[in-house]
Amino acid sequence: MTTGELLKEYRIAQGKNQKEFINNGMIVSQSYYSKVEKNANKITVDNLVDLLHYNNIPIWEFFSRLNSNDDLRHQQIKDFNNMMIEAYYENNIDKVRGLKPLVKESNLSNKDKEEELLLVEAWLEAMKDPSEEPDLQLRTKIKEKIFNIPNFNDTKVALFCNFMPFYDLESNIVIAKKIIDQYINTKNTKMQVALLAIITNILSFSLNENKEKNVDYFIESGEKIKTKPELVFYSSAFYFFKNIIFYHRTNSDEYYNKSIQTKNFLLSIGMTEYGKLLEKLLIKYK
């Protein structure tokens, strides 16, 4: 719905003609306003606000209705992204692949569909077995997409967090430190989730490459983020890898047992696939 169409809807609902709606031409001329309703003229922000005030139309209500299509678009994109992340943690490749036809059949714009389909391909790439040949062209495309976002905003941090496997460990450490330095004191739950996920990934990658001796900065940063209900899963994953690293450093079964307890907790709350992954890691790092 356009601005002109929505103004016309409010005017008719109030039983006013155009002259009455524009305060007898005191806000804009009737000839000009007539073309606004027909989408032939644009109305300035100042004149629009004056019209809304004069006719007792709440500004927040008007713009929420005007942007309802954007809200639906953002919600649909959010739903697709949540489904991808959920399928990733379930290690359900078929579920990720199944999103392709859903994206294509959606009401998203062609540009949005291209973006979402690229993310589907990226998640499939991230879920590949280490023995499979990597798609270097796709990985480069994703890294360029992340790099081209100018600042470490929510979008850039989330993309980096999700596709850290496409970077080497050294690059991950450099980028992660910049993000953590910028956001470690944030109270934003969404960003705290991203920070814990990034830190956990660094610990995991370092263990995998036998380079876990120099991760104190990341452990200390993770401990600064206080656990709250929304962070339970991510805090648990951090706790698991932190204790595996302490176990390697001290050879104390106390830390190994704490990792076992964390794995059992995640299994008990329904994180079955992730729990099974941690079971394999417990064997690997024993």
Q: Which two tokens stand for residue 169?
A: 């460990």
| Tens digits of residue pLDDT in 17-66 | 999 999 999 999 999 999 999 989 999 999 999 999 999 998 888 887 77
Chosen CATH of 3-66 out of 3.40.50.720, 1.10.260.40, 3.90.1200.10, 3.40.50.300: 1.10.260.40
| Cα–Cα distance, 210 to 214 (Å, whole number) | 10
Phi and psi angles of residue 72, each rounded to the nearest 5 degrees, phi first: -65, -40
Q: Which two tokens stand for residue 150?
A: 């100018």
How does DSSP assign 96-118, residue by residue? HHTHHHHHHHSS--HHHHHHHHH
| Cα–Cα distance, 181 to 218 (Å, whole number) | 11
* Domain positions in the chain: 3-66, 69-133, 151-286
| Cα–Cα distance, 4 to 35 (Å, whole number) | 8
pTM, rounded to two decimals: 0.72
| Cα–Cα distance, 147 to 253 (Å, whole number) | 42
| Tens digits of residue pLDDT in 78-121 | 888 888 988 888 889 999 999 999 888 887 789 889 999 999 99
- The residues, any chain, with a CB within 8 Å of residue 280's CB and separated by 6 or more, are none
E-strand spans in the chain?
none
| Tens digits of residue pLDDT in 274-283 | 999 999 999 9
Around 46, how many Cα atoms within 13 Å sit in the side-chain half-sphere?
2
Domain 3-66 and domain 151-286 have a common topology:
no
Chosen CATH of 151-286 out of 1.25.40.400, 2.40.50.140, 2.30.30.90, 2.60.40.10: 1.25.40.400
Percent of the chain residues past pLDDT 70, beyond the cut: 98
| Cα–Cα distance, 30 to 35 (Å, whole number) | 9
Residue given tokens 């370092």 in the structure block? 206
Around 67, how many Cα atoms within 13 Å sit in the side-chain half-sphere?
10
